[in-house]
Amino acid sequence: MQTRRFAQVDVFTAMPLLGNALAVVIDGEGLSDAAMASFARWTNLSETTFLLPPTRAEADYRVRIFTPGGELPFAGHPTLGSAHCWLSAGGVPKQKGRVVQECEIGLVTIQRGGDRKRERLAFAAPPLKRSGPVSVELHAQVLHSLRLPADAVLDVVWVDNGPGWIAARLRSAEAVLALLPDFGAMQGLKLGVVGAYPAASPQQFEVRAFVPDIGVPEDPVTGSFNAGLALWLIEAGLAPDRYVAAQGAKLGRAGRIHVQRDAEGTWIGGDVVPLITGEVRL
């Protein structure tokens, strides 16, 4: 075992304790797969990440992302939180104003922006690996899992950018917040739900995400799902090129996901608040 730099941050919030917590082992080199998985189970957070030297010349660092139930090829709030911790630990990007993260799905670009008081990071939404309506069988499973009749769900589509997300669109944000899911019926699903707020609301959508198979029945704020969701909603004309989504209210959080599409792509942004810095023996 050796002493390694460690941080815990709150992602997708400007106010501590209202976003999604992330544990980051900044010096992850030399740890075995089993050690990483064991520590992630111990933190019991939705994700724990380990920063490593990159293997690709274009990347600034490499990250491995673990949930209590296993490893993920990509995830959004770990991307923003890991980039924040890498920069705070003295990392110097190869490109001015941008960080390039290497993970299992490939390279992910992270923009640096915000104002003088707070830097806001935003990652480029990865392309969808699967899109379009799900099968009849999966559609039925989604309805059963959400305890909803067919006419309460407007769409059930793939928004899979690596983890395997399915999105269900409901008639309103109120309907999203009223859900009482059947987690036992969700076997094999990574399921997110979205509903629109009335016009002129401070946020345009309410989002919830459920991943019981990997030990996260409901995720507080989910970057990867919001990334896939944004690509679908904007392309389908269901959302503007710039909007704010809310997530986490049912868990006592107030996550805010800032989405913007420009000539370079679709960007998923959020604030990061540092909460704990120190060392861990692993």
How many domains in the chain? Answer: 2
Instruction: Report the Cα–Cα distance between both ends of the chain, in Å, rounded.
Output: 5
Shared-domain flag, residues 119 and 181: no
Shared-domain flag, residues 240 and 273: no
State the Cα–Cα distance between residues 104 and 33, nearest whole angstrom. 14
Q: Which pLDDT score is estimated for 115?
A: 65
Q: Which residue has the tokens 């039925």?
A: 140
State the Cα–Cα distance between residues 107 and 135, nearest whole angstrom. 30
Q: What's the farthest any 2 CA atoms get from each other in the chain? A: 56
Three-class DSSP category at 51: strand
For 7, the domain range is: 3-125+268-281
Q: Which two tokens stand for residue 276?
A: 């704990």
State the Cα–Cα distance between residues 169 and 175, nearest whole angstrom. 10
Q: Which pLDDT score is estimated for 39?
A: 98
Question: Does residue 27 contact residue 51 with C-beta atoms inside 8 Å?
Answer: yes
Phi, psi of 261 (to 5 degrees): -105, 135
Shared-domain flag, residues 158 and 195: yes
**Is 193 buried (19+), middle (13-18) or exposed (0-12) by CB count in 10 A?**
buried
Shared-domain flag, residues 134 and 247: yes
Q: Where are the strands (E) in the chain, listed by range?
A: 3-11, 20-25, 48-52, 61-67, 70-72, 98-103, 106-114, 119-124, 130-133, 153-160, 165-170, 190-196, 205-211, 216-219, 242-247, 255-262, 265-270, 272-281
Q: What is the pTM of this model?
A: 0.96
Alpha-carbon Rg for the chain, nearest whole angstrom, is: 18
Shared-domain flag, residues 236 and 252: yes
Question: What residues form DSSP beta bridges with 193?
Answer: 168, 208
Question: Does residue 196 contact residue 205 with C-beta atoms inside 8 Å?
Answer: yes
State the Cα–Cα distance between residues 281 and 168, nearest whole angstrom. 42
Q: Which pLDDT score is estimated for 215?
A: 87
Q: Which pLDDT score is estimated for 44?
A: 95
Sequence-ordered alpha helix ranges (H) in 20-135:
33-43, 76-88
Shared-domain flag, residues 148 and 42: no
| pLDDT tens digits, 59-113 | 999 999 999 999 999 999 999 999 999 999 999 999 999 999 999 999 999 999 8
Kindly report the CATH number assigned to the domain that includes residue 68: 3.10.310.10
Shared-domain flag, residues 198 and 175: yes
Q: Which pLDDT score is estimated for 27?
A: 97
- Mean pLDDT across the chain, nearest whole number? 96
Q: Which pLDDT score is estimated for 118?
A: 74
Shared-domain flag, residues 114 and 165: no
Question: Does residue 239 contact residue 90 with C-beta atoms inside 8 Å?
Answer: no
Q: How far is CA 79 from CA 3, 116, 130, 154, 274, in A?
A: 23, 22, 21, 30, 15
Shared-domain flag, residues 23 and 53: yes
Shared-domain flag, residues 187 and 254: yes
Three-class DSSP category at 49: strand
Q: Which pLDDT score is estimated for 116?
A: 58
Which residue stretches of the chain have pLDDT < 50? none
What amino acid occupies position 114?
A: G
